[in-house]
Amino acid sequence: MKGKMTIVLSAAAVFFASLIGYNHTAHAGAQEGKRLFETEKCVSCHQIQGPAREKTIQDQLAKKGPELWYAGSKFKRDFLVKWLSDPRPIRPLEYYSLTKKNTGNHPRLTSGQAADMTEFLMTLKSSDVKALGIQPADNPRGRVVFIKKQSCYGCHEVIVRGNAAGGLSGPSFAGAGKRLQTDWIYAYLSNPKAFKPVKDMPDYTGYIKDDEMKDLAAYVGSLN
């Protein structure tokens, strides 16, 4: 009986150890990702501590890359892993340039590094992004706001019948549904100054009704 009990307890210990090991691995991944972020000098281009610090348009234009202090609220995990290991331009033009083409020279990480970096970036959250559960949807009202009411495609590239169309001054929305969390899109539209106090994108608060913003967020979240 004692031998059987020892086997049962050992099996239980192995089971719980595997759970602890799993959590430890995830935690270690985030810690390693943070170390990698700092040693690879990512901090020279990306802000990872919020809130936003820019006060003037000059502050905004001086930034070398997008802020990441709310990356875990903005991006989807699978996208980050894939993009970090095979980075391709999201903006057709260089960051805050209206003339220079984005050459896509972002450093490439190994698959293991990309996984660790993603674990770290997903820990960076903003309390201004609420879990509303807005689902991506190609809804008529969201499409009308995007195309006709605000002409979002004037700055953002989209894919129409297999071809790229739209403006180049903002980040491309081709693949936005795979890249962006829909609740973040809504949070950004409804309270943009929480993320970018100084910005060149129009502030739609007071011009677009809240339910229209939700539909617009759902529509952008459906773009592939």
> Per-residue pLDDT tens for 92-138?
988 778 788 998 889 999 999 999 999 999 999 999 999 999 999 99
- Residue of higher predicted confidence among 205 and 19: 205
pLDDT surpasses 50 at 4? no
pLDDT surpasses 50 at 29? yes
Q: Per this entry, what is the length of the chain?
A: 224
pLDDT surpasses 70 at 17? no
Going from the C-alpha of 82 to that of each of 89, 98, 164, the distances in angstroms are 13, 27, 22
Over residues 148-164, the mean pLDDT reads 89
> In which element (H, E) is residue 160 found?
strand 157-160
Confidence category of residue 26, pLDDT binned at 50, 70, 90: low
pLDDT of residue 161: 85
Give the number of other Cβ atoms within 10 Å of residue 36's Cβ: 17
pLDDT surpasses 70 at 216? yes
pLDDT of residue 27: 56
Residue with tokens 């991944």: 29
Distance, in Å, from the CA atom of 134 to the CA atom of 136, rounded to the nearest integer, reads 7
- Residue of higher predicted confidence among 40 and 120: 120
pLDDT surpasses 90 at 24? no
pLDDT of residue 73: 98
The SS3 of residue 125 is coil
18 burial level (CB within 10 Å; 0-12, 13-18, 19+): exposed
Residue 74: closest CA among 188, 181, 221: 181
- In whole numbers, what is the pLDDT of the chain averaged over residues? 86
Distance separating the N- and C-terminal Cα atoms of the chain = 61
Residue with tokens 């890359």: 65
- Residue of higher predicted confidence among 81 and 57: 81
Q: Which of 21-30, 93-102, 212-221 has the weakest average pLDDT?
A: 21-30
